[in-house]
Amino acid sequence: MTTSHAPPSLGTALDVTAVTRHLCAGVYVDERFRDLVIDEVCTAPHRRVAPSYGFDIVPVMHHAWRAAALSALPRLMVLAAVVGPVLTGAIPVAVLVASGFSLLLLARLALVLRAMDQTAPAQASKRHSRSRGPLRAHRYLLRFLFPRVITRKAFAVKRVAVAATWLALTIVVTAFVFPRQGVLALFVAAAITLVYLTTGAARQLTLNRILRTPTLRPTRLSGRQRAADRQQRHMCAVYRRPRHADDEDNDDLTMFTLFGDESPFVGAGELVYQWNPPMSIQLLRPDTDEEPLHEREHSVPPFQAHELVDYLRDAVLPLNADSQDVRLPADVQDRVYVAETDVAVDRSLLPHHFTRDELCTIINTPESKQHHFLEVTTPADGSEFVATVLLRVSLQGRTLSLSTAACVLAHTPRSFQRVEEFGHHGAAAVIWAAFNGLGALPSDIQHSWRIFRYFYTLAKAAALPRDLTLNPIRNILIGSRVSIREDASQAWTKIQLEKSDILGRLKTIEQRLLSATSDFLQTRGVDTSAFDDRALKIINSGIFNFGDNNTFTNNAVGDAAQVNVAANQPAQPANGAAT
């Protein structure tokens, strides 16, 4: 939803960016990420979808359902292979199939225990958390084999081998006594193998198509997809306020941030930069230093806040007109943030669209519950990196106040991008993926119960309306809880060489905004000497909150200042060197 004066977005939802392809691939390779998309987007119509930066959420939703279906089909086959013979009276077939599944589970457990035994003692402490993961997945099987206490690993492997031997004898005896049932069990095993090979190959074929297809959107959108599409494009973002804290003693005093532990800029990424405190400039007339304050200042502001916002918007747009070698792609648009608790009180704070006059009113009203920001977004590497600068302009008390925050969305995990690597796409990759899918059989046996969760999710999607955020509902807050793009983003502290490029882009945009503000103030008869001094300090300063805690230790400031000096020791003379 854009106003008449806002430029069109550079990264529209119809563009197929690299990060959109990677997120669509991520729902096939990461089951946790797939469940996040389905639970928090596809089947959560009572919450607003977070704004999409550099990607389109609709194809991700579409492929999440497909990935869930590809995972549910083989697990359904596993359950049917045991339950079906029981319901038809073929108990020996059920015994043979269940015994075969149990053998696969024991083989997997034995491999896990063997891998733990081969771990060096020096590395055991470092990998302790990793080693507990596979064992935790087998906790019920371990409890069955060792009901009293977990013994030594050597004895555990022996106990697993004994259980596997008994299962093998059960299979041999049952097949010998019921030969026809044994043949049927072989057919069931062949059918399961075929299903797993087919689903593994189909998953890889889908990944290959995601890599090459020019469009990822389905030809027809479902009702929920249309609702999510409208919300991801909407100018207004409904953010979630943190819970009220009764104990203020737990606050981290080393965290210099205006917004607390949770960033209100939902979907924009990790908050890595901010002006703290905001820059405040009195609206004084130039060349009136000797005059009293009431004669120097503008009693009536010479401009309105929305006029400065329009000027800054036009100042950033020329960055897109440069030649390709030096061009800095910049998407400039308006963004309005509203707290979910305020929307619950007054639904008019979340209109279907904003008109020009409504947006100007929001910008010109400092105490409005609709917080306006001029949003400048610059993507890089196919939107794998997205840097966003948000500038808020406020005019109150004969003072201009500017506050800026910068957010960064970093690259997605390697597993999401692996399909692009050598050997991970094409015909050979399909064959390899088919056998890898067969290798997932022991894991699917253990997690076959999740098929019921899939049916529950389908029923939930079919029963719930497509959008429950348009009309108020008692005790329901509609603020965005999760951004799937933020969830898949690398942490800012883990970025390496790309960090300097991102910071350079942020500084470039920031410097252009400050220079344009100075030019605007001069044309409106405002003294910019103090503003220019502060702007120069901001541009050249290297001490800012770039995402980490600003912890200052072992510092000494001022005359006779010392570090690591006991409280009962006298201070050194003033001419002494400070440690």
| Domain residue spans of the chain | 235-240+255-413+490-540
Contacts of 43 (CB under 8 A, 6+ apart): 457, 460, 461, 464
pLDDT at res. 421: 92
Q: Are strands 385-396 and 371-380 parallel, antiparallel or unpaired?
A: antiparallel
Tell me the residue type at 374. L
Nearest alpha carbon to residue 137 among 26, 27, 31 = 31
Which two three-digit tokens encode residue 410? 């970093």
Local structure of 466: helix, strand or coil: coil
Nearest to 393 by CA among 566, 577, 517: 517
Instruction: Note the pLDDT of residue 146.
Output: 52
pTM of the model: 0.84
Look at residue 13 in the predicted model and tell me its pLDDT.
46
User: 430: which strand partners?
Assistant: none
Residue that the structure tokens 């990196």 belong to: 385
What are φ and ψ of residue 335, in 5° steps? -135, 130
Chain segment 99-139, per-residue pLDDT in tens: 999 998 888 887 777 666 554 444 444 444 444 455 555 55
Residue type for position 262: E
- Alpha-carbon span 324 to 134, nearest angstrom: 50
The pLDDT assigned to 138 comes to 54
Q: How high is the pLDDT of residue 369?
A: 94
Instruction: Residue 389: name the closest of 268, 308, 521 by CA.
Output: 268
The tens digit of pLDDT for each residue in 526-567 reads 999 989 888 888 877 654 444 444 444 445 444 555 555 444
Pairing verdict, β 331-339 and 279-282: unpaired
- Rounded CA-CA distance 170/184 in Å is 16
Location of structure tokens 């000497």: 529
Both tokens of 458, joined, read 């389908």
Buried-state track 384-396, b at ≥16 Cβ within 10 A, e below 16: bbbbbbbbbbbbe
Q: Is the dihedral of CA 352, 355, 359, 364 positive or negative?
A: negative
SS3 392: strand
DSSP-assigned letter for residue 38? I
- CA dist., res. 204 & res. 219, Å (int): 22
Work out whether strand 279-282 and strand 270-274 pair parallel, antiparallel, or are unpaired. Answer: unpaired
> What's the maximum distance between 2 C-alpha atoms anywhere in the chain?
111
Gyration radius from the chain CA atoms: 31
- The predicted pLDDT at position 143 comes to 54
**pLDDT at residue 546, as a whole number:** 42
- Sequence-separated contacts (24+) of 495-503 with Cβ below 8 Å: 495/408, 495/410, 498/380, 498/381, 498/385, 498/410, 498/411, 501/380, 502/380, 502/385, 502/387, 502/408, 503/546
β pairing state of 331-339 and 371-380: antiparallel
Interacting residues of 438 by C-beta distance below 8 A, sequence separation 6+: 193, 196, 197, 200
In angstroms, the first-to-last Cα distance of the chain is 57
pLDDT at 142: 53
> What are the percentages of helix, strand and coil residues in the chain, rounded to 5?
50, 10, 40
String of DSSP letters for 264-320: SSTTS-EEEEE-SSPEEEE-B-TT-TTS-HHHHB-SS-SS-HHHHHHHHHHHHGGGG
Separation in Å, CA 202 to CA 8, 34, 66: 38, 17, 11
Average pLDDT per block of 10 residues along the chain, 579 residues long:
42 73 96 96 95 96 96 94 92 92 86 61 44 52 51 66 87 92 94 95 96 93 95 94 65 55 89 86 83 82 95 93 88 95 93 93 93 96 95 93 94 95 92 92 89 94 92 91 94 93 92 94 92 84 47 47 49 42
